Chains A and B, each alone.
Chain A
Amino acid sequence: GAGVSQSPSNKVTEKGKDVELRCDPISGHTALYWYRQSLGQGLEFLIYFQGNSAPDKSGLPSDRFSAERTGGSVSTLTIQRTQQEDSAVYLCASSIGTSSSYNEQFFGPGTRLTVL
Chain B
Amino acid sequence: DAKTTQPNSMESNEEEPVHLPCNHSTISGTDYIHWYRQLPSQGPEYVIHGLTSNVNNRMASLAIAEDRKSSTLILHRATLRDAAVYYCILYDHFYNQGGKLIFGQGTELSVKP
Contact = CB atoms under 8 A, between A and B. Distances in A.
Interface residues of B, number: 24
Nearest to B91: A102
Contact of A55 (B34, B91, B98, B103): B98
Given A104-B46, A108-B43, A42 B99 contact: no
Nearest to A92: B43
A56 B98 contact: yes
B44 interface: yes
A103 B101 CA distance: 11
Contacts of A42: 103-106
A43 interface: yes
Q: Chain B interface mostly helix, strand, loop or mixed?
A: loop
B93 interface: yes
Interface in B11-60: 32, 34, 38, 41-46, 49
A93 interface: yes
A95 B44 CA distance: 13
Contacts, number: 63
B81 interface: no
A107 B100 contact: no
Contact of B49 (A95, A102, A108): A102
A95 B42 CA distance: 17
Interface in B90-113: 91, 93-94, 97-106
Interface of A: 4, 31, 33, 35, 42-45, 48, 50, 55-56, 59, 91, 93, 95, 98-110
Interface of B: 32, 34, 38, 41-46, 49, 87, 91, 93-94, 97-106
24 contacts: A4-B43, A31-B99, A33-B99, A42-B105, A43-B44, A45-B100, A45-B101, A48-B99, A48-B100, A50-B98, A56-B98, A56-B100, A59-B100, A93-B44, A98-B98, A99-B97, A100-B93, A100-B97, A101-B93, A102-B49, A102-B93, A103-B99, A105-B44, A109-B41
